[in-house]
Amino acid sequence: GHHITYACPDFHNPTQECFDKYQLEFIEDLTVQNYGTTYNAPKDENYPNRAYVDPAAFQTKMRFKLPEGLYGDPANDNLVLLQWHWVTGNSCLSEGYDTYPFPPGWSPDNMGPCPEPLSNTGVDVPPEQFWNCAEVQIFSATPTTPLPTSPPVTAAPTVSAKPTNTTP
């Protein structure tokens, strides 16, 4: 199966439209380096937001890229909601599975295509789907307050050999 991670910066009023606007891009699978599985999932150039999971892995570690302009509102402690959507790969083949370069042993065999579009509830139709959310803080890349300025440089006083006449 695979999962897609979305974000919504409208922390108090999240909608599915908001989550759909901010899909995270899958960058790389780091599971082999961290947990010793056999293969890392390659990026799917046709579905760059999908993260495929080794069916034998009990733990995974993956890197994603945040969408441009995604950050929380400082008035709400920079909170953003992440939505994780898992689509299982054990009952039917999701769109694009026929062209994805599955590593050896990952390819789901002998299954028909999943009904499209997928159910938005995951109830009564394959594939099984699961959703979860998490609160995270994402700060703006630019400072929200101006940087302090340096104090002006004052020239050192000069010494003169003759007294200065200050009367007109």
Write the pLDDT tens digit of every residue in 76-98: 999 999 999 999 988 899 999 99
- The answer to whether residue 158 is domain-embedded is no
Task: Please tell me the distance from the alpha carbon of residue 1 to that of residue 86, in angstroms, as a whole number.
Answer: 7
Contact 139, 71 (CB under 8 A): yes
pLDDT band at 162 (very low <50, low <70, confident <90, very high): low
pLDDT at 166: 62
Is the CB of residue 8 less than 8 Å from the CB of residue 83? yes
What pLDDT score was predicted for residue 121? 82
Task: Give the H or E element holding residue 16.
Answer: helix 16-21
The 10s digit of each residue's pLDDT in 112-155 is 999 989 888 878 889 999 999 999 999 998 765 655 666 666 66
* d(C-alpha 95, C-alpha 118), whole Å: 10
**Residue 128 lies inside a defined structural domain of this protein:** yes
pLDDT tens string 21-49: 999 999 999 999 888 888 899 999 999 99
The count of domains in the chain is 1
pLDDT at 4 over 70: yes
Residue 117 lies in a domain: yes
Structural domain includes residue 6: yes
pLDDT computed for residue 106 by the predictor: 82
Which range marks the domain in which residue 133 is found?
Answer: 2-137
Mean pLDDT, rounded, for 47-66: 92
Q: With respect to residue 76, please indicate whether it lies within any of the assigned structural domains.
A: yes
Say if residue 138 is exposed, middle or buried (CB neighbours under 10 Å; 0-12, 13-18, 19+): middle
Is the per-residue pLDDT at 157 higher than 80? Answer: no
Region 49-55: what's the mean pLDDT? 93
- CB 93, CB 2: distance < 8 Å: no
